A and B are shown apart, each in its own frame.
Chain A
Amino acid sequence: MATTVSSTGTEAGIQNVFAFIRRRWLWLLIAFLALLPIIGGKTGYISNFWFLQLSLMIVYAIAVLGLNLLTGFNGQISLGHGAFFAVGAYTAAILIDQAGWPFWATLPMAAVTCFVAGYLFGLPALRLEGHYLALATFALAVAVPQILKYRHFEGFTNGVQGINIFKADPPFGLPLSSDQWMFLVVLAVAVLMFWIARNLLDSRTGRAMTAIRDHAMAASTMGINVPRYKAVVFGISAIYTGIAGALHAIIFEFVSPDSFRFELSIAILVGAVVGGIASLPGAVIGGVFVQMIEKYADALTKKISAAVHLPLELEPWTIYGIALIVLMYTMPTGIAGGLAALWRRMRRS
């Protein structure tokens, strides 16, 4: 009798643990990530290089989230989000380099400049839909490096040479390397940004955003001020991507006009599409994907070329393009959407 009681007791305990994990998995994951510098760094299993990689993944996840908010939840296509990434990065770099600001103080400032930039670009974009908006933002993306090299900005931007900044050391004498410290900072910013995004989407504003995406005219008859919402969402989206840009400048310690070429805008778009265009977890998947591709596409393409005995050396972009097109057929809602659909099907059967 006593044994059965105790065994059901442990069973219930295990079930409780599982239920706790299922309910709180997100917080557990975040806690795990936050402890990584202590676990991995101290035991030496995870090198500083990997902390930099993880930080970059999170940074791209924030950038992709910005595009997700605009395209996925508000239905406005942007091929030019690299521009806002650049504005954020340059704001941070200039403030650190010339005004001597501490790095954390540049983030709110990057948010402000990016909101203004996004809002202003959103105003003419109001009249544009679908392909036309894609075209206008495409033009923006192509022109960004040139705008950054503009002669009268050179005093701030240092022209083609770009700006070198230095990574901050951890404060209070914490026993962390600067890569580990920046990883924690980036993680904290990301958690905050995703939390804000989730609350925003659950709010009245969020429902207005999706209503505009689904049927702008119906939304406006319901009393939603469509132009104002669209312009503001453009600004908010720019804030996300701009903060990602600022973080990127801080952990990468360098900005230059040619790091913000058209390819960057494409990478952000690809991340959003691959992850899942109207999904917050999708933004995380997209961010991881963008950084992985940037790091490993070369090696992967070489392997594929060798495996199928191609007579020529393929370039990563070929794989990129094919992956994009195939994904559009097989998983139009991205990996997050595909996984969700798979999960539903498995539960039903």
Chain B
Amino acid sequence: MEQLIQQIASGIANGAIYACLALALVMIFVSTDHINFAQGEMAMFSAFLCWQLLDWGLNFWIALPIVVVVSFLIGLSIERVILRPLHGAPVLSVVVVFIGLLAIFHSLAGAIWTHTIKAFPSPFPQVAFAGSGYIGPHQLGMIAVTVGLLGALFAFFRFTPLGLAMRAAAQNPASARLAGVSVDWMLALGWGLAAAIGAVAGTMVAPAVYLEPNMMASILLYGFAGALVGGISSPGGAVAGGFIVGVLENLVAYFGNLLEKITGFYLIGNGEKLTVALIIVITVLTLKPSGLFGHVTVKRV
């Protein structure tokens, strides 16, 4: 039983990461209707930037805002420079460009920082507290950051004029343009925000796994799964979905283990993490493409 609680707790901690990444994916999906396959690599790149600053001797809490701003600018310029000309292009072109971006970020990180594994210190103090047997301070910190991020985004979209303008641009570009909203810049802003959120996700995940160019592959897949479970059009849903798949991932491994212990038959374990994500993605896409909290889009013929 204790082990089960521990598994759930660490699932929630992993879920925080997936939630962050899912949030970034949803930001881009809501504002541009694209699924950004390069999101994971962008987050990984941001994590490397942060590592570089730490390596130069900066404090984490000074480095983080710098990295977030730089990532924001990178995201913004990707939209303005690379994706703008593809407005109205077929889906395939956009997907191929995303794959190109993925390749560029992946290889650039490898070229600049090499493929050797790097340790990334946790920014949270290593203290013991009640329940620290179940969950580490870094895990708890990740959860707090994710929830804080979601709250900040919610406030931004709900209470600021800029947030309102971004929502308007996403929901009805034509009317928003008539009302004086610069829709083009809102899309770019959405990309910038997504990159910034991704940067936070990257710096949070780097201490939990080791820092290297491949670190995001499986996390991105779970981020996708989380976004889909929650509904890829709903930021709150994406966060919930991220936590759900995080817990699910650990429970599957736990019960797989239990099954093997009782019956001696190995069905599923830690080695099938990606397969589980694949099954989640396909199941959600076929049974309920709008996810748990997303709204159904009606297609006009």
Residue numbers of A with Cβ under 8 A of B are 71, 77, 79, 124, 127-128, 130-132, 134-136, 138-140, 142-143, 146-147, 149-152, 217, 262, 266, 269-270, 273, 277, 312-318, 320-325, 328-329, 332
Q: How far is the CA of A234 from the CA of B278 in the complex (A)?
A: 18
- List residues of chain A with CB within 8 A of the CB of B271: 146, 149-151
CA distance A217 to B301 in the complex (A): 9
Q: Which of B212-246 contact A (CB under 8 A)?
A: 217-218, 221, 224-225, 228
Are B103 and A135 neighbours in the complex by a CB distance under 8 Å?
no
Q: What is the bound-complex CA distance between A325 and B95, given in angstroms?
A: 10
Given the complex, which residues of A lie within 8 Å of B104, measured CB to CB? 317-318, 321-322, 325
Q: Give every chain A residue within 8 A of B289 (Cβ-Cβ).
A: 127-128, 132
Give which listed residue, B35, B37, B101, B273, contacts A146 with CB less than 8 A. Answer: B273
A152 lies within 8 A of B266 (CB)? yes
B281 touches A332 (CB 8 A): no
Instruction: Look across to chain B and name the residue whose beta carbon is closest to the beta carbon of A261.
Output: B217
Interface residues on B, range: 35 or more
Of all chain B residues, the one with the shortest Cβ separation from A317 is B107
- Given known A-B contacts A139-B281, A315-B107, A324-B100, A79 and B275 have beta carbons under 8 A apart: no
Set B107, B224, B266, B272: member contacting A316, Cβ < 8 A: B107
Enumerate the 10 nearest inter-chain pairs by beta-carbon distance, A residue then B residue, closest first. Answer: A317-B107, A321-B103, A324-B100, A321-B104, A315-B107, A130-B91, A321-B100, A143-B278, A143-B274, A124-B286
Of the A-B pairs whose beta carbons lie under 8 Å apart in the complex, a sample of 16, sorted by A's number, is A131-B95, A134-B37, A135-B281, A138-B221, A140-B278, A142-B217, A143-B277, A262-B217, A313-B111, A320-B107, A321-B99, A321-B104, A324-B96, A324-B99, A325-B104, A328-B100
Q: How far is the CA of A314 from the CA of B103 in the complex (A)?
A: 12
Give the nearest-CB partner of B99 in chain A: A266
Q: In the complex the two chains form, what is the Cα distance from A152 to B96 in whole Å?
A: 35
Judged by a CB distance under 8 angstroms, whether B282 is at the interface is: yes
Q: How far is the CA of A316 from the CA of B110 in the complex (A)?
A: 11
Q: Are B96 and A273 in contact (CB under 8 A)?
A: yes
Closest to A326 in B: B100
Assess whether A135 is in contact with B277, with CB atoms less than 8 Å apart.
no
Interface residues of B (CB under 8 A from A): 33-35, 37, 82, 85-86, 89, 91-93, 95-97, 99-104, 106-108, 110-112, 217-218, 221, 224-225, 228, 266, 271-275, 277-278, 281-282, 285-286, 289, 301
- Verify A147–B97 contact, CB threshold 8 A: no
Q: How far is the CB of B161 from chain A (nearest CB, A)?
A: 30
Tell me the smallest distance from the CB of A210 to a CB of chain B, in Å: 14
Q: State which of A217, A269, A322 has its C-beta within 8 Å of the C-beta of B99.
A: A269
Is chain A's binding surface mostly helix, strand, loop or mixed?
helix
Tell me the nearest residue of chain B to A305, going by C-beta. B111
> For the complex, what is the distance from the CA of A91 to the CA of B271, rounded to whole Å?
23
Q: A136 contacts which of B108, B272, B273, B281 (Cβ < 8 Å)?
A: B281
Measured in the bound complex, the distance between the Cα atoms of B208 and A320 in whole Å is 31
Chain A residue at smallest Cβ distance from B217: A142
Please determine whether B92 and A71 come into contact, CB atoms closer than 8 angstroms: yes
Interchain CB contact under 8 A, A135 and B35 = yes
Chain A residues whose C-beta falls within 8 Å of the C-beta of B101 in the assembled complex: 321, 325
Contacts of B92 in A (CB 8 A): 71, 77, 273, 277
Q: Which residues of A contact B272 (CB under 8 A)?
A: 146, 150
Which residue of chain A has its CB nearest to the CB of B108?
Answer: A318
Give A174 to B83 CA distance when docked, in angstroms.
Answer: 56
CA distance A262 to B99 in the complex (A): 11
Specify which of B102, B106, B107, B282 is in contact with A139 (CB 8 Å cutoff).
B282
Please give 18 more A-B residue pairs, beta carbons under 8 A apart, in addition to A142-B218, A142-B278.
A124-B285, A127-B286, A134-B35, A135-B228, A136-B282, A139-B278, A142-B217, A142-B277, A143-B277, A146-B271, A147-B275, A150-B275, A152-B266, A313-B111, A320-B103, A320-B107, A322-B104, A324-B97
Residues of the A chain whose Cβ atoms lie less than 8 Å from the Cβ of B89: 328, 332
For B91, the chain A residues whose CB sits under 8 A away are: 77, 130-131, 134
Inside 8 A of B108's CB, which chain A residues have their CB?
315, 318
- Which among A135, A318, A328 is the interface contact of B285 at CB below 8 angstroms? A135
Q: How far is the CB of A82 from chain B (nearest CB, A)?
A: 13
Known: A124-B282, A130-B91, A151-B271. A135 touches B96 (CB 8 A): no
Beta-carbon nearest neighbor of A134 in chain B: B95
Q: How far is the CB of A263 from chain B (nearest CB, A)?
A: 9
Instruction: Report if A138-B37 is in contact (Cβ < 8 Å); known contacts: A150-B275, A152-B266, A325-B97.
Output: yes
Measured in the bound complex, the distance between the Cα atoms of B300 and A217 in whole Å is 12
- A134 to B34 alpha-carbon distance, docked (Å): 11
CB pair B96 A269 closer than 8 Å: yes
- Chain B residues with CB under 8 Å of A324's CB are 96-97, 99-100, 103
CA distance A265 to B21 in the complex (A): 23
CB neighbours (8 Å) of A269 from chain B are: 96, 99
Q: A150: which B residues are within 8 A, CB to CB?
A: 271-272, 275
CA distance A96 to B205 in the complex (A): 44
Most chain A CB neighbours (cut-off 10 Å) among B91, B100, B277 = B100
| A245-B97 Cα distance, complex, nearest whole Å | 26
Asked if residues B100 and A325 are in contact (CB atoms below 8 Å), the reply is yes
Measured CA separation A257–B136 after assembly (Å): 35
Which residues from chain B contact A318 at a C-beta distance below 8 Å?
A: 103-104, 107-108, 111
Rounded to whole Å, the gap between the CB of B265 and the closest CB of chain A is 9
Q: Given contacts A134-B95, A139-B221, A329-B85, are A317 and B282 in contact (CB under 8 A)?
A: no
CB distance from B228 to the nearest CB of A (A): 8
Q: How far is the CA of A332 from the CA of B86 in the complex (A)?
A: 11
Complex-state Cα separation, A139 to B274, whole angstroms: 8
